[in-house]
A = this chain, B = another copy of it.
Amino acid sequence: MSGHLAVIGLGPGDPRYLTPEAQEALITAQALYGYGPYLDRVPACVGQSRHASDNREEGARADAALRHAASGARVAVVSGGDPGVFAMAAVVCERIKMGPESWRALDVAFVPGITAMLAVAARIGAPFGHDFCALSLSDNLKPWELVERRLDAAAGAGFVIALYNPVSRARPWQFGNAVERLRRHLPETTPVIFGRAVGRPDEHVSVTTLAEAGATSADMATLIIVGTRETRMIARTGRSPLVYTPRAAAEVSA
């Protein structure tokens, strides 16, 4: 008997972002595993068990889901956004790599979702209109020196930068340090976008400059987009400004 494990992206939270593929994978699962607040977004299904766990228990959550699937069940792990972007897909792969042979025999599917950086970008215009990168500011799983090296490389070469996991209670200084680092490469006027909870009642998306970004409040659920030298704003009377990065770059500008 070979079980089935789906690793599902819920998107930013509003059901309008949930793809039909993800919807079907949720409905057909016999058991759901996930961080509590993500599971709370999924309507109840008769006969489906739910297994909530804490944000920091990702490895144990993946193990439990894999064991359950290996027993022959149809199991789903839910992620916010896209499961492949700083979320559960890599955790599940790591555990399959380390785990028993039976886990490699499982039918495993990854179901993509709208990741936070693209949801926030869509609210404001087209900040990722040119080459871009995504970087987690958490130094739980990599040394801070590597984060700094990547900030230097990305800003120096003119990539738009998406910052995931900018701040947490245990990591209060990292975001301010990153802003200081970026100011070595980019003008003070560079647009910086702060977005959280897109599509949910507490949605908040705002634009500031690199000079002001360090003083702007952020938390673990905030997604930050730092523009390039080319990123521009369009002021609009009676409407929020648009922010975009032109497709063309005439020269090595950063």
Q: Which of B129, B150, B237 is A158 in contact with, Cβ under 8 Å?
A: B150
Mark contacts of A127-152 with chain B using CB atoms, 8 A cut-off: 1 yes-contact digit, 0 otherwise.
11111111110000111011001101
A188 at the B interface (CB under 8 A): no
User: Does A97 lie within 8 Å of B234, measured CB to CB?
Assistant: yes
Mark contacts of A73-93 with chain B using CB atoms, 8 A cut-off: 1 yes-contact digit, 0 otherwise.
000000000111110011111
What residue in chain B is nearest A156 (Cβ atoms)?
A: B153
**Restricting to A201-238, which residues have a CB under 8 Å from any CB of B?**
232, 234-238
Interface of A is mostly: mixed
User: Does A247 lie within 8 Å of B90, measured CB to CB?
Assistant: yes
Residue in A91, A94, A96, A249 whose Cβ sees the most chain B Cβ within 10 Å: A94
Copies of this chain assembled into the complex: 2
Q: Which residues of B contact A43 (CB under 8 A)?
A: none
A16 at the B interface (CB under 8 A): yes
Residue in A18, A114, A123, A239 whose Cβ sees the most chain B Cβ within 10 Å: A114
User: Does A84 lie within 8 Å of B136, measured CB to CB?
Assistant: no
A35 at the B interface (CB under 8 A): no
Do A94 and B244 contact each other (CB < 8 Å), given the known contacts A123-B110, A143-B251, A150-B159? yes
**Restricting to A93-110, which residues have a CB under 8 Å from any CB of B?**
93-94, 96-97, 104-105, 107-108, 110
8 additional contacts (CB under 8 A) given A84-B121, A114-B114, A146-B249 = A90-B247, A94-B244, A94-B247, A97-B244, A105-B236, A141-B247, A143-B249, A153-B153
